[in-house]
A and B are shown apart, each in its own frame.
Chain A
Amino acid sequence: MTNASPLRIAVVGFGKLGLLHAGIANGLPGSKLVAVCDNSSTTMNVLKSQMQGVETYSDYKTMIAKGGIDAVFIATPTGSHAPIAVDFVNAGIAVFIEKPLAPNTEQALPLMEALERTPVTNMVGYMGRYIDTFAKAKALIDSGALGGLQMLRTSMYVAQLFTKGKGWRYEQKESGGGVLITQNGHVIDKLLWMFGDLEYVTGQTNTLYSSTVEDYAHAYFAFKSGLTGFMDASWSARHFRTPTISIHVQGEHGTLDVNDDDVRLHLEKAHGDLPADWSIWRGPDLYQGVPFDIGGPQYTRQAIDFLEAVRTGTTVETDVKSGFKTQSVVDAIYRSAQQNGAPQFFAEQ
């Protein structure tokens, strides 16, 4: 493969995220959508009638056998992520896997092993790290301006479910769980990214409308750094039109609040270029254009990082290993909830 020839991109699972990844990868210079696989014949027929030069498949194994693919975006229901990814990895094809990685860590293990044997570029879709406000917050935390971190509170709410849900997302076997593993997975990914590894976690979950997955989850985190705090998550929370994540952390020298809209830092005294008192960065302060935007710049930046790593045969931050770590925290919260909140300790990682 040379830099001159565009990367040949495949997508497996052509729902809303599959469409989004296909559109971004095809819209960016240097990559071209060449193949799509989905088990809905309706979807594939619609696609075939509208797009020339894109092969359509109902079985991803046929797609692999046909060859001619440099990287694949896997956006199927969670339960099939790992088995599909393993087959692509074994064929030496770079894999992007939508989050969550798998319903649980156990089901993700074969993928970890496959990547040991065939270390292709790999990524899990925790795109929240590419949102301007959270990237800024991470940089502020890393600057040490807050001093030793003392306490944390965080939430993820969305008004999504107020009757019994239908479809794979609400079937524990397929999805791995409810709000905790889906939208709130982004929170856990961000916390590990910002604050490092955990010593232990405790959790409670509750079912409001669903029968096999939780609609509400609550967790207490103790980080190895000594930082402690709690998390609330619900997809049955009124008044939240879109998924809304907030993180508040207090340190010896100040506080930091971050959500999708802004970052607010309060410092007792100046730290380097950062003045004492309030500093506020809003979305427009931090915004930088991307070559091509469909669903928000974070998706484009994520795709650019992945595709660049594929081109250069390197790795990305949110790789399968990192997704596995996030998954292990999700698993621990579910285990704790089953044991009525018993603490779950993490071995040295």
Chain B
Amino acid sequence: MTKSPLAPIVLGHNAFFGVDHLSAARGAERAAFFADPQNILDMIHTAYDHGVRGMMMSTHDRAGPVAELIRNDPKLSQDMAIYPLLPYAQKYITKANEMGLINVVIDALSGSGLKSKVSFLWQGGKGVLTKDVTGMLSALIRLELNIFRGLNMPAVFLHDALTDLALGLELKDIFSFFIEELDKNHNSQGSFATKNLPLLQQRFKEWGLPTPTVLTHANKIGFHMNPSLPACEDALNEGVSNVMAMGTLASGYLSPDEAYSYLGQFPTIKSVVVGVSSSKHADETFAAIKTNGWDNT
């Protein structure tokens, strides 16, 4: 079992970056409001005042300015744990439409300003690159995490699109590499977001890898929980150790009370991601969390 690097309450980032899984229109509205990083910082302070000491951060273009504001804030930079979720897939997908996936990776690395760190790219062109897959991945991780430099990052999550793809393709080495790389070079726990918790648990067991810290959907209606609600509940009861629960409101479908009282029954859920988009919304949400016994101090 791995040690829990998770803050009990973690502020979600989706509202800040225009992601809304219940309504694309609502997502776009929020994106407009949070286009100003100062509005994001204000919301982080509101959450902080409610006892929140952790924050999810994708590597969206807007994450850089927000990270900078946190770095310059003595209170936040000291107390707030940042949990990067990488990569921000949408950014790469748009580019991949134009130049193909592998070229996106090469392009991202060559334009990264990290030339010295990924010098192997220039030593012999693509031929060398392909023989050094882990070197390439290591450089990509460095590139993605660069905007968070100097911040407290107890765990870094691999995006569920990649975790689940690697699970499907049975790429054991990618998982062990990610864990090792984060530990060795970033002093952080390599962790995984997934929509297939029982499968992840099964594969890690087969591979003889220690159960990792995971970020996964947990709600009583089974939204985004595969293969089924009961199978995921079994895994949440005993299959995994440290879970950060996301999607707990099922995209606003459940009330905070319903959502947080459900989570309380699972001993493995050490942390919950909470999305707030206004201070009124924050008051209601954190009140419900407290009522249901979550420690947010």
B79-104: contact bitstring with A at CB < 8 Å (1 yes, 0 no)?
00000000000100110111111100
Q: How far is the CA of A260 from the CA of B24 in the complex (A)?
A: 9
B164 at the interface (CB under 8 A from A): yes
The interface residues of chain A lying within 8 Å CB-to-CB of B250 are 284
Q: Give the chain A neighbours of B96 by CB distance below 8 A.
A: 15-16
Contact A284/B165 with A45-B131, A261-B23 known, Cβ cut-off 8 Å: no
Q: Which residues of B contact A240 (CB under 8 A)?
A: 24, 28
In the complex, how many angstroms separate the beta carbon of A25 from the nearest chain B beta carbon?
Answer: 8
Question: A27 in the interface, Cβ–Cβ < 8 Å?
Answer: yes
Question: Closest chain A residue to B229 by CB distance?
Answer: A289
Q: What is the CA–CA distance of A100 and B116 in the complex, to the nearest angstrom?
A: 43
Contact of B97 among A42, A45, A169 (CB under 8 A): A169
Q: Is B173 an interface residue (CB 8 A)?
A: yes
**Pairwise interchain contact B168-A294, C-beta atoms closer than 8 A:** yes
Q: CA A49 – CA B250 in complex, angstroms?
A: 39
Question: Which chain B residues in 118-176 approach chain A with CB under 8 Å?
Answer: 126, 129-131, 133, 161, 164-165, 167-171, 173-174
Q: Which residues 16-50 of A sit at the B interface, judged by CB distance below 8 A?
A: 16, 19-20, 22-24, 26-27, 33, 40-43, 45-46, 49-50
A289 engages B164 (CB within 8 Å): no
Q: From the candidates A20, A49, A241, A292, name the one contacting B24 in the complex (CB within 8 A).
A: A241
Among the stretches B49-57, B63-71, B220-228, the one at the interface with A is: B220-228
Bound-complex Cα distance A291 to B164 (A) = 12
Q: Are B22 and A261 in contact (CB under 8 A)?
A: yes
B41 interface contact, C-beta 8 A: no
| Interface residue? A287 (CB, 8 A) | yes
Given the known interface contacts A19-B101, A167-B100, A260-B24, the answer about A284 and B174 at a Cβ–Cβ threshold of 8 Å is no
Contacting B at CB under 8 A, from A160-186, are 160, 165-167, 169-170
> Any chain A CB within 8 A of the CB of B270?
no
Contacts of A293 in B (CB 8 A): 164, 195-196, 224, 226
How many angstroms between the C-alpha atoms of A239 and B22 in the bound complex? 16
Residue A311, interface by CB 8 Å: no
Q: Do the beta carbons of A292 and B130 come within 8 Å of each other? A: no
Q: Would B22 and A23 count as touching, CB distance under 8 A? A: no
Q: B241 CB to closest chain A CB, in angstroms?
A: 22
A258 CB to closest chain B CB (Å) equals 13
Q: Contacts A26-B169, A27-B167, A241-B27 hold; do A283 and B101 have CB atoms under 8 A apart?
A: no
User: Of residues A45, A291, A294, which shows the largest number of chain B Cβ atoms within 10 Å of its Cβ?
Assistant: A294
Q: Assess whether B225 is in contact with A289, with CB atoms less than 8 Å apart.
A: yes
A19 touches B165 (CB 8 A): yes
The distance in angstroms between the C-alpha atoms of A294 and B250, with both chains bound, is: 18
A282, CB-defined interface residue at 8 Å: yes
A295 and B251 within 8 A (CB): no
Interchain CA distance A167-B168 in the complex, whole Å = 28
In the bound assembly, the distance between CA atoms of A49 and B129 in angstroms comes to 12
- Which residues of B have CB within 8 Å of A23? 164-165, 167-169
Task: Give per-residue flags for A59-76: 1 if the beta carbon is below 8 A from chain B beta carbons, else 0.
Answer: 000000000000000000
A20 contacts B97, C-beta separation under 8 Å: no
Q: Give complex CA distance A282, B254 in Å.
A: 12
Closest to B247 in A: A284
Q: Does A5 contact B (CB under 8 A)?
A: no
User: Knowing A244-B24, A289-B222, A294-B161 touch, does A15 contact B168 (C-beta < 8 A)?
Assistant: no
Q: Is A276 in contact with chain B by the CB < 8 A criterion? A: no
- Whether A167 contacts B97 in the complex (CB less than 8 A), given A42-B102, A293-B195, comes out as yes
Q: Across the interface, do A284 and B97 meet the contact criterion of CB distance under 8 Å?
A: no
By a CB distance below 8 angstroms, the chain B residues around A3 are: none
Could you tell me the distance between the alpha carbons of A15 and B161 in the complex, rounded to whole angstroms?
14
Residue A51 lies at the interface, judged by CB distance under 8 Å to chain B: yes
Interchain residue pairs with CB less than 8 A apart (6): A51-B170, A167-B98, A241-B90, A262-B22, A282-B253, A287-B221
Measured CB to CB, the residues of B under 8 A from A are: 18-19, 21-24, 27-28, 31, 90, 93-94, 96-102, 106, 126, 129-131, 133, 161, 164-165, 167-171, 173-174, 195-196, 199, 221-229, 231, 250-251, 253
- Please name 12 further chain A to chain B contacts, defined as beta carbons within 8 Å, in addition to the given A23-B169, A27-B164, A289-B229, sorted by A numbering: A26-B168, A27-B199, A43-B102, A46-B102, A50-B169, A169-B97, A241-B18, A241-B19, A241-B90, A262-B22, A289-B226, A291-B226
6 A-B pairs closest in CB distance: A27-B168, A23-B168, A45-B130, A284-B253, A167-B98, A289-B226
